[in-house]
Amino acid sequence: MNAAVRVCLIEDDPIMGESLAERFRLEGFDACWCRSGAEAMRRLREQAFDVVISDMRLGDTTGEAVFDWAAGALPQAPPFVFITGYGTVDQAVALIKRGAHDYVTKPFDLDALVAKVIEITATAATGGAPGSEPLGVSAAMQRIEAMLPRLARAANTVLIVGESGVGKERVAQRLHAILAGAATRPFVAVNCGAIAETLLEAELFGHEKGAFTGAARTRPGVFEQADGGTLFLDEIGEMTPGMQVKLLRVIQERRVTRVGGETAIPVELLLVCATHRDLKTLVAEGAFREDLFYRVNVVQIRVPPLRERREDIPWLIKRFLTDIARQSGEARRHLLPAAEEAAMNYPWPGNVRELKHAVERACIMSAAEWLPPSALFPDADFAPPAGDAQASLGDYLRECERRYIRGALESCGGQIGQTAERLGISRKNLWEKMKKLDLGDAEP
């Protein structure tokens, strides 16, 4: 799968260069090791690369100079990932603000770097930068699409709501792509629900050297990293009251103070917050600050669940099949009409994420060019209920969802983590659904 990934490695240190080049080749990447900036510029001019991994300091020039040269001289500069030492972190952060993709600090984890390359090139294979593709063909998604240019011009805070996996981050990326146009501006995404409160403050606002045990050096937070571009804060409904106060202050003042710091640093960015929770209910329960709710809820985009915009299902399936073919280099697969019909009839509780996983799994599990329904829905005991003419659509879909989740639970031996992964939803989301659908002892 990695055979076509072309990596340009710019590293003047022979030991580091050799070990990185060797590891990349072992991964199946087509790695070209350039030992100087001049050599890199020559190779980049001659050949297209999917990603550039460059040291900040090179014998004859700097990684920054190569990056600037590529932005001006190449028709389409590949994404740059910088390798930095302690002394050059600030420079690397500044480069990200100017459009570099990412950086890793020495000593770094090789596995993580390889995963980063795969992630970057997989995104590139989906047809360009995330956000460069339309959101869907349904009337609902086209309405969202139509409002984005106005928001990109006028808004500085946007709230995106919708169930898990509907594509909230996708919408944020699309908004960012419209905002940024051809310019290279940073898009930084953080899942607030996945980070403990003690770490979240430093992640958002940064920290000074020595601010706490383990803060060996100064690190700018995501607000600073996203300066000039877009910051996507996912799962803001999960923030603790303490963090909510701090976020409110930053949104109002548009300045951040690093943990352990004294100076307020101005930031100018589009803040996109997202949640799958009902913030109004959280406000009523006292779990979410009312003032913060009004501050982030100035403009709200609701992304409907996939079951409410079924026209997008075949369109998304075709997109995913095309992406898979491009990434694997194999022939493009198709769905048999019966499989497409089954996909249209299924409620997709995990939304687009679940659909994407199902298509990916079907392509791995079946070698057929035309995929049958069983490739998409491998759980033997799942068959959509026959349907009762008296039942409402809501009841019918609920029964479909219940049966499918029960089948998945059974096929995963009741293991919640595995089942959630298989369905493409979070464990928490699975617990909630099990509770709602009376499926066993739904206690986390």
- 220 or 304, CB closer to ligand ATP? 304
**Interface with ligand ATP, residue 168, by CB under 6 A:** yes
DSSP tag of 98: T
Largest CA distance in the chain: 77
Closer by beta carbon to ligand ATP, 6 or else 361: 361
Nearer to ligand ATP, 134 or 387 (CB): 134
CB of 162 to ligand ATP, least distance (A): 6
120 is a site residue for ligand ATP (CB under 6 A): no
Contact call for residue 419 and ligand ATP (CB under 6 A): no
Torsion of CA 397, 402, 404, 407, to 10 degrees: -160
Tell the smallest beta-carbon distance from residue 278 to ligand ATP (Å): 14
Q: Is 276 in the site for ligand ATP (CB under 6 A)?
A: yes
CB of 140 to ligand ATP, least distance (A): 11
Q: Which stretch binds ligand ATP (CB under 6 A): 79-87, 97-105, 114-122, 161-169?
A: 161-169
Window of 168-176, 202-210, 400-408, 433-441 that interacts with ligand ATP by CB under 6 A: 168-176
Which residue, 127 or 210, is less far from ligand ATP as judged by CB? Answer: 127
Nearer to ligand ATP, 38 or 137 (CB): 137
User: In the complex, what is the shortest distance from the CB of residue 232 to ligand ATP, in angstroms, rounded to a whole number?
Assistant: 9
DSSP state of 259: B
Tokens for 64? 């920054």
Site string for ligand ATP, 209-228 (x = CB under 6 A): --------------------
Q: Which is nearer to ligand ATP, 24 or 320 (CB)?
A: 320
Segment near ligand ATP (CB under 6 A); pick from 38-46, 110-118, 160-168, 290-298? 160-168
Distance of alpha carbon 30 from alpha carbon 3, whole angstroms = 7
Paired tokens of 426: 């979070």
Closest CB to ligand ATP: residue number: 167
Tokens coding 183: 């310019």
Separation between Cα atoms, residue 234 and residue 304, nearest integer Å: 17
Residue 108's SS3 state is: coil
**Number of residues this chain uses to bind ligand ATP (CB under 6 A):** 17
> Is 167 one of the binding residues for ligand ATP (CB under 6 A)?
yes
The candidate with the shortest Cα–Cα distance to 295, out of 390, 402, 144, 157, is: 157
Q: Which long-range contacts (CB under 8 A, 24 or more apart) does 214-222 make?
A: 215/259, 215/260, 217/86, 217/89, 218/89, 218/90, 218/258, 219/89, 220/90, 220/93, 220/258, 221/256, 221/258, 222/188, 222/190
Report the DSSP pairing between strands 300-302 and 270-275.
Answer: unpaired
Stretch that binds ligand ATP, among 92-100, 245-253, 257-265, 348-356 (CB under 6 A): 348-356
Q: In whole angstroms, give the CA distance from residue 233 to residue 358.
A: 27
Q: Is 135 in the site for ligand ATP (CB under 6 A)?
A: yes
- Contact between 401 and ligand ATP per CB under 6 A: no
* Separation between Cα atoms, residue 397 and residue 433, nearest integer Å: 13
Using CB under 6 A, pick the residue from 353, 402, 422, 433 that binds ligand ATP. 353
260's torsion region: left (phi>0), alpha (psi -120 to 50) or beta? Answer: left
3-state class (DSSP) for residue 144: helix
Q: Which residue in 64, 169, 208, 401 binds ligand ATP (CB under 6 A)?
A: 169
Q: What angle do helix axes 312-328 and 337-345 make, rounded to 10 degrees?
A: 120
Is 164 near ligand ATP (CB under 6 A)? yes
Q: What is the DSSP string of 19-48?
A: HHHHHHHHTT-EEEEESSHHHHHHHHHHS-
Interatomic CA distance for residues 343 and 28, integer angstroms: 35
Contact track, ligand ATP, 312-331, x by CB under 6 A = ----x--x------------
Q: Which segment (44-52, 159-167, 285-293, 373-381) binds ligand ATP by CB under 6 A?
A: 159-167
Q: Which is nearer to ligand ATP, 105 or 142 (CB)?
A: 142
Strand 270-275 with 157-161, pairing:
parallel
Q: Which stretch binds ligand ATP (CB under 6 A): 107-115, 176-184, 351-359, 371-379?
A: 351-359
Token pair in block for residue 25: 């080749």
Q: Establish if 170 lies at the interface with ligand ATP (CB under 6 A).
A: yes
- Of 97, 116, 356, 422, the one binding ligand ATP (CB under 6 A) is 356
Binding site for ligand ATP (CB under 6 A): 135-136, 162, 164-170, 234, 276, 316, 319, 352-353, 356
